[in-house]
Homo-oligomer: A and B are copies of this chain.
Amino acid sequence: MKFKCEKSKLQEAISIAQKAVTGKSSMPILQGLLLIAEQDQITIIGSDIDLSIETKLEAEVIETGKIVVDSKLFGDIIRKLPNSNIEISSIDDNSIKLICEKSNFTLVHMNPDDFPSLPSIDEEMIFSIEQKTLKNMIKSTIFAIAQDESRPILTGVLFEVKDKKVNLVALDGYRLAFRSEPIDNDNSMSAVIPGKTLNEVVKILQDDGVVNITFTSNHILINLEKTKIISRLLEGEFIKYTSIIPEEHNLRVDVKRGELLNCIERASLVGKDGNTSLIKLDIEDDYMVITSNSQLGKVREELNIILQGEKLQIAFNSKYLIDLLKIIEEEEIYMDFSSSVTPCLVKSKENNNYTYLILPVRLLNS
């Protein structure tokens, strides 16, 4: 194997493929990156079995071949080299030479035959979407996935394609995040993508260009121009989320997102008892009172609202409200309530593409 390429392009490709290398695998080969030199291009693949990322860059390939290099060491070396041309060539069966200006490295490499092969996926595209849109959709739902593994299916995000829409849904038993976008496509399917995969996908997605998405029974293929991301799906049935989202309400509160967020953040400071901070909302005619207390002291916050319907007292874990109020971009939001023990629905007044739901905490006196 022998090739020449630009340092900056190689560095960029490595940083993409490295996102699949977790360093947590017990298989040493998975701490490596597979480099394949073919006609005019280098393919770099990183994998932790569950997630694999393949990316390509232009290169002057003098001799084809493949090797596996240590992901961290190779990436660190390339990053520290001057912005110039790099020449990489095999010396013998287990080492390569790397030359860049006056820097001269000899590096031991691993056997490319030990590297796991990527799942083969029939690239029949299911749908196509703007990269920026998909990135926003993931960011605005992934915070609501379950953090503990007791119900593995909830550690992923549901991708659902139907009725010319793609819906993303995450829920953890205490809250639900739903985000929908129209697509120009009549397919219909659903699958649950691991949250770990999507955390890396959002780092790779750009603000322009489209992405093609394909599903098999076990995998998702996210195909960007030069980069393919392949991830295993989570097995099992996702919760029928549509039955959870209430369609009716007894009262609606119009409120400014930023003001509400600030009040709840302050109130949660005093109520902090371990990680959960209980806050109580007293919804009155044209204002809301937020209170919290603990052995540290107590707090009362008040803010203006517009109320349609009856007054209500309801309590929440502040973390869940803070999380979603930080994710919503619009200032004008509304909250729909039915009672102090049924979910609260939070939506933007301007943007109908998402719905957030959080469960209240039952108070002793309610």
**A-to-B contact residues, CB < 8 Å:** 70, 73, 76-77, 80-82, 95, 102-108, 262-263, 265-266, 269-270, 295-303
Contacts and interface: CB of A to CB of B under 8 A. Distances in A.
A81 B266 contact: yes
A76 B272 CA distance: 12
Contacts of A295: 108
Contacts of A73: 269-270, 296
Identify which of A73, A102, A265 gathers the most chain B CB atoms within 10 Å of its CB.
A102
Contacts of A80: 262, 265-266, 269
Identify which of A95, A105, A107 gathers the most chain B CB atoms within 10 Å of its CB.
A105
A83 B181 CA distance: 39
Given A73-B296, A80-B262, A262-B82, A301 B103 contact: yes
Copy count, this protein chain: 2
Contacts of A76: 269
Contacts of A301: 102-104
Contacts of A302: 102
A103 to B, nearest CB: 5
A77 B266 CA distance: 6
Nearest to A72: B269
A330 to B, nearest CB: 21
B299 A103 contact: yes
Identify which of A76, A81, A95, A103 gathers the most chain B CB atoms within 10 Å of its CB.
A103
A301 B99 CA distance: 10
A262 B270 CA distance: 49
B105 A70 contact: no
A106 B297 contact: yes
18 contacts: A73-B269, A73-B270, A77-B266, A77-B269, A80-B262, A80-B265, A82-B262, A95-B297, A102-B302, A103-B299, A103-B300, A104-B299, A105-B297, A105-B300, A106-B299, A107-B296, A107-B297, A108-B297
Q: Which 5 A-B pairs have the closest CB atoms?
A: A107-B297, A104-B300, A102-B302, A80-B266, A106-B298
A158 B270 CA distance: 43
Given A77-B266, A105-B300, A106-B299, 7 more contacts: A73-B269, A73-B270, A76-B269, A106-B297, A107-B270, A107-B297, A108-B295
